[in-house]
Amino acid sequence: MSSSLASRRSTGQPDIAAATQPQPTRRTSQSRTRSNLSGWAFATPFLVFFLVFLVWPILYGIYMSLTGKSLTGANDSLIGFANYAEALADADMWRSLGNTFYFTVISTVPLVLVALVMAALLNVGLPAQWLWRLSYFAPYLLASTVVSLFFTWMYNPQLGLINDFLSKMGLPKVAWLNDPNVAMWAIVIATLWWTVGFNFLLYLAAMQNIPAQHYEAASLDGAGAWRQFFSITLPQLTPTTVMIVLLQILASMKIFDQVYQMTAGGPGGSTRPVVQYIFETGFTGYRLGYSAAISYIFFGLIVLVSVMQFVITRRRSA
């Protein structure tokens, strides 16, 4: 689904070659066996890693979630769905899910809109394209830890650049990372700075793929740049926008790094996302089984969103 876009961009080759390949009229059973063998031989290296480091942990995790397994080695026996029952009644889990949900909602909108504005500005045909691309995209190349160090320093209540600016403008100082009402927004701002460049590049590539004829025709009809953006660019970008929004939602749901590094989930648990709760239950609380159960509840939600994505993209292409 998604990659058809990607590969369309990467080669100009039409798909006909693959579609009209001559089918062998008669295949001996010997050559069929050979095909089977070589097919699986080529697949084997990937399959080994896939089975050992993805399929096995996913299945073993389900088993773990049904036990009282802990890092202290306490209770290894099966306890049925007790962990799930406990999780569903766990106010801290719900709160962390709520925080993840809140972050996802308030981060997705600016991460998509700002990316669109950046790409639209460049698409006007500004000079020095590389300069704009560099400045918008460079933060994406940083590790989360670097971003957190930068922003923790700028958010510093007394010595920080941002509060200094605010007080020079005659505005009150803000306790960015220490105020439960503000901390999540502070994290959204840092995240926007860090990752918007990625969405920006996707938008820019999609805009440059819009056939020039569309604009030529509109120009002849006397449509200005502003008009062209809304009646040609935006509609042509709809499939891209749908993909970016859904990928962004899935990415935002996995939020952990910045929060853990900047606020450690605080103040008072007001920013702790569900991935951090999983991490803490498992590695600080040593309750691996319980932690696994919460992981699968989280996984269920991710699957739900992915299925919605699938249904929506299907309906669009149908």
Partner 1 sequence: MAIPTLTRPTPRTNTSQEARKPRKKMTAGKIAALVVAAFIAVLWMIPFAWATATAFKTETDAAAPKVSWMPPSGFTAEAFVKVFQDGNIPLWTWNSFYTSAAITAITLVISALVAYALSRIDFKGKKVLMTVIIASIIIPPPVLIIPLFYQMLALHLIDTSWAIILPQVIHPAMVFVLKKFFDQIPRELEEAAVMDGASRLRIFTQIILPLSQPILAAVAIFVFIGAWNNFLWPFIATNDGGLLTLPVGLQTIKSAYGIQYAQNMASALLAALPLILVFLFFQRQIIKGVATTGLAGT
Residues 55-94 that bind partner 1 (CB under 8 A): 55-58, 60-61, 64, 69
Does 103 interact with partner 1 (rule: CB under 8 A)?
no
- Nearest CA to 272 out of 261, 285, 283, 282 is that of 261
**Rounded CA gap, 11 and 204, in Å?**
18
> What track of x and - describes contact with partner 1 for positions 33 through 52 (by CB under 8 A)?
--xxxxxxxxx-xxx-xx-x
Query: What is the footprint of partner 1 within residues 6-35 (CB under 8 A)?
Result: 6-7, 9-11, 13-15, 17-18, 21, 32, 35
Site residues for partner 1, 143-162, by CB under 8 A, read: 143-146, 149-154, 158-161
Per the CB < 8 A criterion, the answer to whether 303 and 247 are in contact is: no
Query: Under a CB-based contact definition with an 8 Å cutoff, are residues 60 and 294 in contact?
Result: no
Quote helix, strand, coil % in the chain, to nearest 5.
Answer: 70, 0, 25
Residue in this structure with the two tokens 């998604």, named with its chain if needed? 2
Query: How is residue 294 written in tokens?
Result: 């919460």
Cα separations (Å) of 272 from 58, 153, 191, 216, 286?
24, 20, 15, 51, 18
Q: How far is the CB of 82 from partner 1 (least distance, A)?
A: 17
One residue of 83, 233, 241, 295 binding partner 1 per CB under 8 A: 295
Question: CB of 95: closest distance to partner 1 in angstroms?
Answer: 17
Q: How many residues bind partner 1 (CB under 8 A)?
A: 119
Task: Single out the residue of 66, 97, 174, 275 in contact with partner 1 (rule: CB under 8 A).
Answer: 275
Cβ atoms of 115 and 203 within 8 Å: the answer is yes
Binding characters for partner 1, 227-246, by CB under 8 A (x = yes):
x------------x--xx--
Number of C-alpha atoms within 13 angstroms, CB side, residue 106?
16
| Shortest Å distance, C-beta 193 to partner 1 | 7
Which of 181/248 has CB closer to partner 1? 248
Stretch that binds partner 1, among 72-80, 101-109, 131-139, 177-185 (CB under 8 A): 131-139
Residue of 184, 202, 249, 259 interacting with partner 1 (CB under 8 A) = 202
- Side chain identity at residue 316, one-letter code: R
Shortest spacing between CB 269 and partner 1, in angstroms: 18
